[in-house]
Amino acid sequence: MADSTTAAVVAPRPAAAVPACLLAWLLPGAGHFYLRRPQKGLTFLGAIGALFVMGLAMDSRLEMAVGLDDILASLFSLAQMAIGLPYLAARMLGYEAGNVTSVTFEYGNTFTAVAGLLNILVMLDAYDVAVGRKA
């Protein structure tokens, strides 16, 4: 409700669409913070961040498979990369290998990939908010 109130005050900013999308990719919810929708931003950061962290805790592998050799692996990798900086940070902290023998390995993979896919929707939402299609 407070978000609707904020949206009524904050006018669309078409020029901010590209920076908002880039920020939204780098960190879930950052694009909405930039567009002065802090409640939405906080919700996305909390929910998508929790999905990603729980995926790592469930021994997810963070593959960086690019190329046409294995299309499915590349798409899966792109889905994970869509969460932006948390993906890179997790890889730098040594979480890239995962643990394929863990009973929760596939669950973890699902959590991290879905977190990235949801972040793509959040980026599109940030674009819509910036151009005035959504509040």
Partner 1 sequence: MSHFVTLLLFAALVSLVFAVLMREDTRARIRFGLTSFAAFVGSAIVVGWLMSPFPS
The DSSP 8-state label assigned to residue 65 in this structure reads -
Select 49 or 74, whichever has its Cβ closest to partner 1.
Answer: 49
Select 63 or 125, whichever has its Cβ closest to partner 1.
Answer: 125
Sign, Cα dihedral of 87, 89, 92, 95: negative
Among 35, 51, 79, 83, binds partner 1 (CB under 8 A): 51
Q: Which amino acid is at 79?
A: A
**Contact present, 52 and 115 (Cβ < 8 Å):** yes
Sign, Cα dihedral of 9, 127, 14, 31: positive
Among 40, 60, 79, 90, binds partner 1 (CB under 8 A): 40
Quote the least distance from Cβ 95 to partner 1, whole Å. Answer: 18
Which of the ranges 11-19, 38-46, 66-74, 89-97 carries the binding residues for partner 1, by CB under 8 A?
Answer: 38-46
Among 12, 104, 105, 120, binds partner 1 (CB under 8 A): 104
Using alpha carbons only, give the angle 58, 63, 69 rounded to the nearest 5 degrees.
140
